[in-house]
Amino acid sequence: MEPVAAVHADWVGEALGIELTRTSSLPLARRLYRALRSWVQSGRLASGCRLPSSRRLARELGVGRNSVLDAIDQLVAEGFLEPRPGAGTFVADLPFGRIEAPAEEASGGGAPRAALSPRGERLLRFSAASGGHHEAFPPGVPALDRFPRELWERLLRRHQRRAPDAWLDYRTQGGVTALREVLCDYLRLSRSVRCRPEQVLVVQGAQQGFELIARMLADAGDTVWMEEPGYGGAQACFDASGLALVPVPVDGEGLDPARVPSGHAAPRLIYVTPSHQYPSGVTMSLARRLALLEAAETHGAWIVEDDYDSEFRYDQRPIAALQGLSESARVIYVGTLSKVLYPGLRLGYLVLPESLVEPFRRANARLHREGQYAVQAALGEFIAAGHFSRHVRRMRDCYRRRQALLRRVLAPAVARGLELSQGQAGMHLVAWLGDRALEAELVARGAAAGVTLSPLSGFYLEAPGRPGLVLGYAGTRDDEIRRAGRWLAETWLALVEERAAATNVPG
Ligand SMILES: Cc1ncc(COP(=O)(O)O)c(C=O)c1O
């Protein structure tokens, strides 16, 4: 049985009810006494927890009140419970009564792993172990401390208060209309996406969008072309949906459809991040975009365009979405609020070709359910009132500065051969490294120094990936960029020296 939660008197009656369903030859009062005493001793009932009244317990359990009173009186007499006149009966303050975490959990080791399905085991390969989340340099995290929380909370409260009853119900509208309308305006103007509000389906983040796409447009065993290197979230989603992931190399122009490895069935899906390839940072050239659209047409495949952080461009004009180039409506545009606002919001959206709108709405409502309408409405106002574009402008300035700062502190390492990506956009830089040993060494030393260095080779589906480090700077405070950046520069220089010394050793 689950622990009876610490102070919830309401649950005591239910827990005792379950206890009484067990067969026993003991008298009722004795059984109630034993159950309550063992829960107090084990900590399931914590000190200070108020018991329901004897009258209520008797009613809920369908037993005579005397049996309940007998049990409680006995526990009071023994000191397990204490009556407080006018307030009720409480669990006494006793030295035992703490629920201890299992030893392994307390020491951080975690419980032994249960046997997972082969799919579950594969999924873990795409899922980093939790913990060790340092301030520098987690990729993909925005500046959470800069989010206008007071304003946002005001909007949330207002829309929660005004929520019509219909928002409490099951719905299949694809999201709050006002939000879909402003998103549509935004996408048409700033991203050159072709859309009408009806085509927008609000989902709980890009991840849920990928999942829906995989389930609705492909079957187990179908092929999906993936960028190599690429985004682990999409890799995990498509793999867990049973698709065959085919890594297609990314070069300076993005994914190259001419370099698809041979021997695979034609793709059902093609996943790309054309505005800002994740993680390399490359922008897909027009020639490649056209080639990709043609390949999708030839194979009858759907292109999944993940436009996750295109708001953050620094030295370049915004680049129009691939979706807007396509005449044939074979592109599904995926947007997320995780980067522009914050990941815990869990809001994203799909812009669907007309032919997919109705089936996707229905399936989403069946598979994941819609909801969070008040939050959606608050977001709609956040965008319509101009707060969204103001926040984007501020974050763009903030990230531009943070990137420049990171480059400055890494300059001594760059002078000695550390190669950084161009970084005209986005929220992270890539430091390319010469070999895997160096990558592993830096990642390990980083972990010990409280610096998260994400190994680039981990973004590849097929080993060996190109070694490097993905350095997220957007969500890292300036002082932390200085500390961790200096540490990285010094560690790099020390490693370069060590290696030079090792190769110069005579003999
Ligand atoms: C390439 C890419 N796409 C999408 C996302 C956003 O995913 P979600 O909306 O599920 O938070 C991320 C976040 O890390 C990302 O890096």
Q: Which of 233, 306, 244 has its CA nearest to residue 272?
A: 306
Q: State the average pLDDT for the chain.
A: 92
From the CB of residue 365, how many other CB atoms can be counted at a distance below 10 Å?
16
As its CATH architecture, domain 9-91 has: Orthogonal Bundle (1.10)
15 lines ligand 1 (CB under 6 A): no
Cα dist. 168→47, 177, 373, 374 in Å? 37, 16, 8, 10
Q: What is the pLDDT of residues 188-201, one digit of tens each?
A: 999 999 999 999 99
280 lines ligand 1 (CB under 6 A): no
Ligand 1: atom nearest CA of 231 is 1
- Taking the C-alpha atoms of residue 36 and residue 71, their distance in angstroms, rounded to an integer, is 9
Q: What is the pLDDT of residues 294-324, one digit of tens each?
A: 999 999 999 999 999 999 999 777 789 999 9
Nearest CA to ligand 1 atom 12: 308
As its CATH architecture, domain 390-504 has: Alpha-Beta Complex (3.90)
- Say whether pLDDT at 461 is over 90: yes
Q: Which residues contact 66 (CB under 8 A, 6 or more apart)?
A: 29
Mutate to test the pocket of ligand 1, among 204, 338, 372 (most ligand atoms within 8 A of CB): 338
The whole-number pLDDT of residue 130 equals: 57
- Taking the C-alpha atoms of residue 188 and residue 24, their distance in angstroms, rounded to an integer, is 70
The whole-number pLDDT of residue 329 equals: 86
pLDDT grade, residue 6 (50/70/90)? very low
- Taking the C-alpha atoms of residue 350 and residue 305, their distance in angstroms, rounded to an integer, is 10
Tokens 């980093």, located at residue? 128
pLDDT grade, residue 1 (50/70/90)? very low
Distance between Cα 347 and ligand 1 center (Å): 11
Q: HSE (CB half, 13 Å, CA atoms) of 309? A: 30
Ligand 1: atom nearest CA of 278 is 1
Q: What is the pLDDT of residues 338-391, one digit of tens each?
A: 999 999 999 999 999 999 999 999 999 999 999 999 999 999 999 999 999 999
Mutate to test the pocket of ligand 1, among 201, 207, 310 (most ligand atoms within 8 A of CB): 207
Higher per-residue pLDDT: 102 or 149 = 149
Quote the tokens at residue 10: 């309401």
What CATH number does the domain located at 146-385 have?
3.40.640.10
Nearest CA to ligand 1 atom 15: 308
Q: HSE (CB half, 13 Å, CA atoms) of 328? A: 14
273 lines ligand 1 (CB under 6 A): yes
Exposed, middle or buried by CB within 10 Å (0-12, 13-18, 19+), for 25? Answer: exposed
- Say whether pLDDT at 4 is over 70: no
In the chain, what are the domain boundaries? 9-91, 146-385, 390-504
Quote the tokens at residue 163: 């929520």
Q: What is the pLDDT of residues 231-244, one digit of tens each?
A: 999 999 999 999 99
Ligand 1: atom nearest CA of 207 is 10
Q: What is the pLDDT of residues 402-416, one digit of tens each?
A: 999 999 999 999 999
- Taking the C-alpha atoms of residue 507 and residue 500, their distance in angstroms, rounded to an integer, is 15
The whole-number pLDDT of residue 476 equals: 96
pLDDT grade, residue 151 (50/70/90)? very high
233 lines ligand 1 (CB under 6 A): yes
Q: Which residues pair with 227 in a beta bridge?
A: 248
